[in-house]
Structure 1
Amino acid sequence: MDQNELIAQITKVASKHQAAGTICYLNYDEVAAPAIRRWASSNRRGVPQNNLELRIRDLAKALTLPEKSGRRTVHKSTLELAAAIAACMPDYSVALPP
């Protein structure tokens, strides 16, 4: 899958989730680029590439605005969006448990 196809697929997934009321500060057509960058760079933040649950939570944080305290509270619907986006990623199967 090339980059344009991946962006189109993530945009489609994000559009469906936004229509369902998912809490995300980005519009569905703005989600793909930051999601791809965040997914690819999770290891730099100490999130193991083979830990799917942590990578999805890390991705969800990128889709959430920080509160005044600087913390990011991740809503369940945002986690669901992050999981759907993660399933689009080319290395998704690498993160699945054996």
Structure 2
Amino acid sequence: MILEEIKTYVGIETPRHNKAAVDALGALIQERFSALGCRIQTIPQPEHGNQLRIEYGEGEEQVLILGHFDTVKEISTLEKEPFSIELALSNGRFLT
């Protein structure tokens, strides 16, 4: 289930300089994590994609996940270099 969710995110190309693309993925992530009961704060960014602060749990029962959801490669890269869970697990590609 988690790997399928990651596959969904990786399938949405988000070059760091494309604010609209990064924000679109951010909106999907916000929707998915909200459905899990997370508290989400959007931190607007003027030039690059907005940041998300996602909180889950209370007191000593909390989870912290740090990461980013922009990519380096241009839109249409996945046409030439498709994502596969097997490749990601074998060498970490797409998951770093």
TM-score by length of structure 2 reads 0.32
Which structure features the higher share of strand residues?
Answer: 2
TM-score (norm 1): 0.31
